[in-house]
Amino acid sequence: MRNIWSIFKKEIISFFSSPIAYMLITVYLVLSGYFFYLGFVRFANYVNMVAANPQYSQQLAQLNLAEHVLRPLSYNICIVVLLLIPMLTMRLYSEENKMGTMELLLTSPLGYFEIVFGKFFASLFVYAIMMLFSAVYLFIIISYGKIEMGPIITSYLGLFLIGMAFLSIGNFTSTLTKNQVVAAVLGFGILLLFWVLGWGAANSEGRMAGLLSSLSITEHFDSFSKGVLTLKDIIYYLSFTFIGLFLTKASLESTKWRL
Amino acid sequence: MIEVCNLTKNYGDFTAVSNVSFNVKDGEIVGFLGPNAAGKTTTMRVITGYLSPSAGSVKVDGYDVYEQGMQVKKIIGYLPEKPPVYPDLSVRSYLKFVAEIKGVASRDLNKSVEAAMEKTAITNVAHKLIGNLSKGYQQRVGLAQSLVHNPKVLILDEPTVGLDPTQIIEVRNLIKGLKDSHTVILSTHILPEVSMTCSRVVIINKGNIIAEDTPANLTKRMATDETIELIVSGVSDDKKLHETLTSIVGVKSADIAFNETDKTHKASILVKSSFDNAPEIAQKIIAANLKLHKMSTSELSLEEAFLRLVNTMKGDEQK
pLDDT tens digits for range B119-149: 888 899 999 999 999 888 898 899 999 999 9
pLDDT at B37 over 90: no
Fold of B2-215: Rossmann fold (3.40.50)
With bands split at pLDDT 50, 70 and 90, how would you rate the model's confidence at B221? low
Cβ–Cβ contact A68 with B under 8 A: no
Mean pLDDT (whole number) for B85-111:
92
Spatial distance between the Cα atoms of B6 and B179, rounded to a whole number of angstroms: 27
Fold of B226-299: Alpha-Beta Plaits (3.30.70)
Which position has the higher pLDDT, B303 or B189? Answer: B189
With bands split at pLDDT 50, 70 and 90, how would you rate the model's confidence at B80? very high
For residue B54, what is the nearest residue in chain A, using CA coordinates? Answer: A257
- Residue A102 is predicted with a pLDDT of 92
Residues of chain B with Cβ-Cβ distance to A106 below 8 Å are 49-50
**C-alpha distance from B200 to closest chain A C-alpha (Å):** 25
**Domain range for A204:** 2-254
Mean pLDDT (whole number) for A24-34:
93
Closest Cβ–Cβ partner in B49, B84, B88 for A17: B88
| Integer-rounded Cα radius of gyration of chain A | 21
**C-alpha distance from B190 to closest chain A C-alpha (Å):** 23
* Under 8 Å between Cβ of B44 and B187: yes
Cβ–Cβ contact A109 with B under 8 A: yes
* Under 8 Å between Cβ of B58 and B65: yes
Domain count, chain A: 1
- Residue B319 is predicted with a pLDDT of 46
Is A100's CB within 8 Å of B80's CB?
A: yes
Cβ–Cβ contact B89 with A under 8 A: yes
Whether residue A238 is contained in a domain is answered as yes
Closest to B227 (Cα-Cα) out of B280, B268, B279: B268
Q: What is the pLDDT of residues B153-174, one digit of tens each?
A: 999 998 888 788 888 888 888 8
Q: Is B48 helix (H, G, I), strand (E, B) or coil?
A: coil
- Residue B10 is predicted with a pLDDT of 86
Mean pLDDT (whole number) for B94-119:
92
Q: H helices of chain A, where?
A: 2-17, 19-52, 57-62, 65, 71-89, 91-99, 101-106, 112-133, 135-144, 149-175, 180-196, 206-215, 221-226, 231-254
Q: What is the pLDDT of residues A138-181, one digit of tens each?
A: 888 888 777 788 888 898 899 999 999 999 999 999 999 999 99
Is B49's CB within 8 Å of A107's CB?
A: yes
* CA terminus-to-terminus distance, chain B: 32
Interface probe with A: pick from B14, B78, B101, most Cβ of A within 10 Å: B101
Residues of chain B with Cβ-Cβ distance to A255 below 8 Å are 50
Q: What is the pLDDT of residues B228-281, one digit of tens each?
A: 888 888 877 778 788 888 888 778 778 888 888 888 888 888 787 777 778 888
Question: Which amino acid, B214?
Answer: T
- Residue B233 is predicted with a pLDDT of 83
pLDDT at A30 over 50: yes
Which position has the higher pLDDT, B47 or A214? Answer: B47
Q: Mean pLDDT over all residues of chain A?
A: 89
Per-domain residue ranges for chain B? 2-215, 226-299
pLDDT at A90 over 80: yes
Chain A residues 2-31 within an 8 A CB cutoff of chain B: 2-3, 6-7, 9-10, 13-14, 17-18
For residue B69, what is the nearest residue in chain A, using CA coordinates? Answer: A109
Percent of chain B with pLDDT over 90: 21
Q: What is the pLDDT of residues A97-107, one digit of tens each?
A: 999 899 999 99
- Residue B111 is predicted with a pLDDT of 93
Spatial distance between the Cα atoms of B214 and B217, rounded to a whole number of angstroms: 6
Whether residue A259 is contained in a domain is answered as no
**C-alpha distance from B90 to closest chain A C-alpha (Å):** 10
Whether residue A178 is contained in a domain is answered as yes
DSSP state of B90: B
Is B93's CB within 8 Å of A110's CB?
A: no
Closest Cβ–Cβ partner in A7, A13, A256 for B89: A13
**C-alpha distance from B109 to closest chain A C-alpha (Å):** 13
Cβ–Cβ contact B86 with A under 8 A: yes
Distance of CA B28 to the CA centre of its chain: 16
Residues of chain A with Cβ-Cβ distance to B11 below 8 Å are 259
Closest to B122 (Cα-Cα) out of B104, B98, B142: B142
pLDDT at B105 over 50: yes
* Least confident interval from A7-16, B56-65, B247-256, B287-296: B247-256
* Under 8 Å between Cβ of A1 and A116: no
Spatial distance between the Cα atoms of B58 and B7, rounded to a whole number of angstroms: 7
pLDDT at B303 over 60: no
Spatial distance between the Cα atoms of A133 and A152, rounded to a whole number of angstroms: 15
- Residue A140 is predicted with a pLDDT of 83
Q: What is the pLDDT of residues B176-217, one digit of tens each?
A: 888 878 899 988 877 777 777 888 888 888 888 877 878 777
- Residue A87 is predicted with a pLDDT of 94
Cβ–Cβ contact B234 with A under 8 A: no
Spatial distance between the Cα atoms of A151 and A230, rounded to a whole number of angstroms: 13
Closest Cβ–Cβ partner in B50, B80, B86 for A14: B86
Q: H helices of B48-151, where?
A: 69-75, 91-101, 109-119, 135-147
H or E element that contains B55: strand B55-60
Spatial distance between the Cα atoms of A259 and A243, rounded to a whole number of angstroms: 24
Q: Mean pLDDT over all residues of chain B?
A: 83
Mean pLDDT (whole number) for B48-52:
89
- Taking every pair of Cα atoms in chain A, the longest distance, rounded to a whole number of angstroms, is 74
pLDDT at A70 over 90: no
